[in-house]
Amino acid sequence: MVQNKNLLERTNPHNIVVFNTILWGCSFLLLLFLFSGRTSPEKIDYIYTICFITTLIIPISINLYFLIPSYLKKEKNVVFLVFFVLNLVVFSELNPLFFEFIITTFFNDYYFISYHNDLEIYLIFFLFFILSTLIKLGEDWVYLNQVENKVLKVQKQEIEHQLYSLKGQINPHFLFNSLNVLYSLAIDKKEDLTNAILQLSDILRYVLYDIEADKISLSKEIE
């Protein structure tokens, strides 16, 4: 149980560059066509989308790389929810200010403001928070499954190795004791010697060959 808990709290060491390139690339395309409302966006649409999506990067990154690993993965759900909402509200309110700052700093040849009202901004931020959280948790789930499968595979190999070593230790002792019994029967010239040799042969054949099979019938195991 402790090992499983440690696995859940582990941070997925994904490639941050690749993950964020895919995440924000898809987000850019989605918002571009959402904002432009046209099948062929114009230059102004690209600029507007770039400026708007830039205001999303900081709060989404805080959620993905601080709130989720620090609180959600440690089952501090209430604390995570509080900071999640706080993060959402603060940066949704700051969106117009950030947007105007980016426009005036990098695109001073253009003059426009965000044409979304507060409700629409909150809705966009909320959807991006939820979707990015689900994507990150989904990626972590796949990663943890891979880790657990590797751990189970290693444990299985260790168990098989231990069983093989144990069998290697038991068989020589069993064979040594059996030979002593046969020796004593031979000295006394008892009639059971022949049957004992056959029984030992059957047992050795079973240990060397039959036990390697994936499945053995119960009747054969009892025999």
pLDDT, tens digit, for every residue of 44-89? 888 888 888 999 999 999 999 899 988 988 889 999 999 999 999 9
Structure tokens at 74: 């440690």
Residues 161 and 72 in one domain: no
Predicted TM-score of the model (pTM): 0.59
> Nearest-CA neighbor of 50 among 102, 88, 127?
102
**Residue 85 CB: number of other CB atoms within 10 A?**
12
Shared domain check, 176 and 88: no
With tokens 């809705």, the residue in question is 123
Three-state DSSP state, 64: helix
36 and 52 assigned to the same domain = yes
User: Which of 151, 178, 201 is a domain's end point?
Assistant: 151
Does one domain contain both 87 and 133?
yes
Give me the helix-helix angle, 118-188 and 43-62, nearest 10°.
50
Q: What is the pLDDT of residue 16?
A: 81
pLDDT at 118 over 60: yes
CB distance 53 to 28 below 8 Å: yes
Mean model confidence pLDDT for the chain:
79
Of 93, 117, 151, which residue sits at a domain end? 151
DSSP secondary structure, 163-202, as one string:
HHHHHHHHHHHHHHHHHHHHHHHHHHT-THHHHHHHHHHH
Q: Is the pLDDT of residue 154 over 50?
A: yes
State whether 144 and 163 are in the same domain.
no
Percent of the chain predicted with pLDDT > 90: 18
Q: How many domains does the structure of the chain reveal?
A: 2
Supply the range of the domain harboring residue 206.
156-222
Whether 10 and 110 share a structural domain: yes
Q: Assess whether 17 and 83 both reside in one domain.
A: yes
147 and 170 assigned to the same domain: no
- Cα 173 from chain centre: 45
Q: Return all residues near 73 (Cβ < 8 A) that are at least 6 apart.
A: 8, 9, 11, 140
32 and 139 share one domain: yes
- How far is residue 70's CA from residue 77's CA, in Å, rounded to a whole number? 10
Find, among 19, 131, 9, the residue nearest to 70 by Cα: 9
- Domain stop point among 151, 169, 187: 151
- Indicate whether 198 and 107 sit together in one domain: no
Contact 132, 23 (CB under 8 A): yes
Look up tokens 């995570």; give the residue. Answer: 80
- Helices 118-188 and 77-106 pack at an angle, to 10 degrees, of 130
Residue 24 to residues 107, 145, 150, Cα–Cα distance (Å): 20, 26, 31
Residues 88 and 193 occupy one common structural domain:
no
Look at 15-29, 61-75, 161-175, 195-209 and tell me which has the smallest mean pLDDT: 161-175
111 and 204: one domain?
no
